[in-house]
Amino acid sequence: MNTGPAISVAVTFVWLGMVLAISFLEAPLKFRAPNVTVQIGLGIGRLVFRALNTVEVAFALVILAIVVAGPVPLRVTIAFCVAFAMLAVQLIAVRPRLTRRSDQVLAGSEGPRSRGHLAYVGLETVKAVALLVAGILLLTA
């Protein structure tokens, strides 16, 4: 019995659910809660996104192992590659900039708003769509 497809479907939709819940629900809502200052919100956000990104890397490795073990349809592999690429850009290029900016804010600096968050949200949107597409394609394969 080949459990690879079932595992990849489960991991894909759990990963998608985590991205949607944290990035598009928790992150913007925490700043609307009573008595949550920018410093507290940033501190919470850093912890939550560090944990999310750690789980995302683990999920990506599980899916990558299944794809490499194959066979996986090319269109599914492409969708996963898009999701992996978005995660890599977030971790390598965007998150370090956001961390430096949040360090400045936590230290009391009040410079201009960061555009890094917009880049992160854009990448997160593409990643979520890629995961949705990959999941649907896996279900129909």
What is the average pLDDT across 47-53? Answer: 95
Residues 6+ apart with CB under 8 A from 18: 52, 55, 56
Question: Does the predicted model carry a pTM greater than 0.85?
Answer: yes
pLDDT tens for 11-47 read 999 999 999 999 999 988 988 889 988 888 888 999 9
Residue 112, SS3 per DSSP: coil
Residues 6+ apart with CB under 8 A from 16: 128, 131, 132, 135
Tokens of 110: 């009040």
Quote the pLDDT of residue 1: 56
pLDDT of 104 strictly over 90: no
- CB-based contact 94:123 (threshold 8 Å): yes
Residue carrying the six token digits 């949107």: 125
CA distances from 44 to 33, 41, 49, 78, 129 (A): 13, 5, 9, 34, 26
In percent, the amount of the chain with pLDDT more than 90 equals 68
